[in-house]
């Protein structure tokens, strides 16, 4: 088994303990490379996903997410490198891999002229489930994806949300061990996004899921493990928390205080652990919102509260806004992270 953190040097590698798969590896990817002519779409990708884990692939468009997924689903071969899904080699045992794998390609391709149930029935048949089992299998995914209301509708007339759910239902047919979902929430409205995310999150522990997205909150909400990929290379990987603690420099705190601006600024600056004080905006004549940055790993909120109240000012609001995954993503992608070169 390869190192769970990935062997490539020059990457952000959080403490191995944070990402060590709790369960045996379901997906092992070793030095996967894919070239399209002169363009390298995927560059020496290595990672593992434990059984029951949900892995989020994060990256800008064209980073190589879809290509990686296509390689893992045996749609297209890698130029070099190996990968195993459920213990089966994706090249030599592609048939066995495809049997334990459910795949939702980008944009959820469907047959527009079919009726929803007939479509699921067809896909179950193609996946090789005999007639007796098929009905139960189809009913199961209809239930799981909440498609009961549309089973008799023609796919063409479904809303985008239902199409996406139907694509997901198709991937879930026969309860596959591994699910590969390419941008499962793209084009959905916020309510539908929340539903799909909830559905995916509910699979944790039961199924191994790889999902790709370029929407950040999605990853922190649904995934236990994140891989940030850019230009075909892994830029960072780990749990959302470990990424924040590794890459995340400053901890940002917002405070709203009533009182004279100059005195307060001076006061805040003196609080232990605060590295920067910045006036965000004036809310009223004597009420100001402050944006404070704290040293990494420190939470000076208690000290701030104490200092402000001791000085006789009114503390109206105090909240920590830890560096979000979004900030990390942008830092990693634009190569600004100072720790990026630390092996």
Partner 1 sequence: MLNFWPVYKREVKTYFQSPSTYVVLALFFLIVSLIYQDLMTVFSSLSASAGQQSMFGQTNQAPNVTDFVIRQTFQILTSLVMFTIPMLSMRLVAEEKNRGTFELLVTCPLGDWAILMGKYLALVTVGLVIVILSGVYPLIAWWMGRANGAAPEWPIVVSCWIALLLIFSAYSAFGVMASSFTENQISAGIVTLIGLILWNVLGVFQMEKYPKVREILTEFSAGEHTENFIRGVLMLKDFAFYILASFLFLFIASKTLDARRWRI
CB 125, min distance to partner 1, A: 4
CB 5, min distance to partner 1, A: 29
- Is residue 39 within 8 A of residue 67, CB to CB? The reply is no
Answer for which of 107, 192, 231, 275 binds partner 1 (CB under 8 A) is: 107
Q: Give the Å distances, CA to CA, from 59 to 211, 229, 238.
A: 11, 5, 14
CB 124, min distance to partner 1, A: 9
Q: Which tokens go with 267?
A: 């006061």
Eight-class DSSP state of 115: B
CB 213, min distance to partner 1, A: 18
Answer for which of 7, 16, 24, 112 binds partner 1 (CB under 8 A) is: 112
Nearer of residues 159 and 202 to partner 1, judged by Cβ: 159
Site string for partner 1, 187-216 (x = CB under 8 A): ------------------------------
Site string for partner 1, 61-100 (x = CB under 8 A): ---------x--xxxxx-x---------------x--xx-
CB 1, min distance to partner 1, A: 25
C-alpha to C-alpha distance for 62 and 200, rounded to whole angstroms = 24
On the CB side of 264, how many CA atoms lie within 13 Å of its CA?
Answer: 25
Residue 109 found at the interface with partner 1 (CB under 8 A):
yes
By CB under 8 A, which span of 13-21, 108-116, 139-147, 272-280 interacts with partner 1?
Answer: 108-116
- Is residue 12 within 8 A of residue 173, CB to CB? The reply is no
Residue 266 found at the interface with partner 1 (CB under 8 A):
no
- Is residue 49 within 8 A of residue 227, CB to CB? The reply is no
List Cβ neighbours of 193 (8 Å cut-off, separation of 6 or more): 185, 218
Q: Which one, of 239, 243, 193, lies nearest residue 218 by Cα?
A: 193
Answer for which of 29, 63, 123, 150 binds partner 1 (CB under 8 A) is: 123
List Cβ neighbours of 35 (8 Å cut-off, separation of 6 or more): 41, 79
* Other CB atoms within 10 A of residue 148 CB: 9
On the CB side of 134, how many CA atoms lie within 13 Å of its CA?
Answer: 16
Nearer of residues 115 and 204 to partner 1, judged by Cβ: 115
Residue 157 found at the interface with partner 1 (CB under 8 A):
no
Q: Which tokens go with 90?
A: 């994706």
Eight-class DSSP state of 76: S
Answer for which of 7, 15, 113, 314 binds partner 1 (CB under 8 A) is: 113
CB 105, min distance to partner 1, A: 5
Residue 33 found at the interface with partner 1 (CB under 8 A):
no
Q: Give the Å distances, CA to CA, from 333 to 48, 58, 178, 231, 300.
A: 22, 10, 28, 9, 29
Nearer of residues 163 and 301 to partner 1, judged by Cβ: 163
CB 101, min distance to partner 1, A: 7
Q: Could you give the 3-state DSSP secondary structure of residue 274? A: strand
Answer for which of 105, 161, 259, 305 binds partner 1 (CB under 8 A) is: 105
C-alpha to C-alpha distance for 142 and 173, rounded to whole angstroms = 9
Answer for which of 1, 20, 111, 266 binds partner 1 (CB under 8 A) is: 111
Nearer of residues 67 and 337 to partner 1, judged by Cβ: 67
Torsion angle, alpha carbons of 334, 336, 338, 340, to 10: 0
Site string for partner 1, 125-144 (x = CB under 8 A): xxxx----------------
Where along the sequence are the contacts to partner 1 (CB under 8 A)? 35-36, 70, 73-77, 79, 95, 98-99, 101, 103, 105-107, 109-114, 122-123, 125-128, 170
């Amino acid at each position: 088994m390869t190192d769970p953190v990935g062997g490539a040097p020059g990457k952000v590698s959080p403490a191995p303990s944070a990402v060590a798969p709790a369960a045996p590896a379901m997906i092992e990817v070793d030095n996967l490379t894919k070239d399209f002519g002169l363009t390298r779409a995927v560059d020496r990708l290595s990672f593992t996903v434990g059984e029951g884990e949900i892995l989020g692939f994060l990256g800008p468009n064209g980073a190589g997410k879809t290509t990686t997924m296509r390689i893992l689903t045996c749609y297209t071969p890698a130029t070099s490198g190996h990968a195993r899904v459920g213990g089966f080699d994706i090249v030599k045992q592609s048939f066995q891999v495809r049997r334990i794998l459910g795949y939702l390609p980008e944009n959820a391709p469907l047959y527009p002229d079919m009726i929803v149930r007939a479509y699921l029935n067809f896909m179950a048949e193609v996946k090789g489930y005999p007639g007796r089992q098929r009905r139960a299998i189809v009913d199961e995914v209809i239930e799981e994806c909440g498609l009961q209301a549309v089973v008799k509708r023609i796919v063409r007339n479904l809303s985008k949300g239902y199409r996406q759910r139907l694509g997901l239902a198709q991937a879930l047919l026969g309860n596959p061990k591994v699910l590969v979902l390419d941008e499962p929430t793209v084009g959905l409205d916020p309510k539908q996004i929340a539903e799909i995310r909830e559905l995916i999150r509910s699979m944790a522990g039961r199924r191994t899921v790889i999902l790709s997205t370029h929407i950040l909150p999605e990853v922190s909400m649904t995934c236990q493990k994140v891989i940030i990929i850019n230009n075909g290379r892994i830029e960072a990987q780990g749990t959302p928390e470990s990424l924040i603690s590794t890459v995340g420099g400053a901890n940002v705190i917002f405070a709203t205080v009533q009182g004279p601006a100059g005195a307060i600024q001076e006061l805040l600056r003196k609080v232990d652990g605060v590295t920067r004080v910045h006036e965000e905006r004036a809310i009223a004549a004597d009420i100001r919102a402050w944006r404070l940055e704290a040293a990494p790993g420190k939470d000076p909120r208690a000290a701030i509260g104490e200092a402000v109240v001791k000085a006789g000012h009114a503390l109206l609001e105090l909240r920590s806004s830890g560096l979000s995954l979004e900030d990390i993503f942008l830092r990693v992608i634009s190569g600004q992270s100072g720790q990026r070169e630390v092996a």
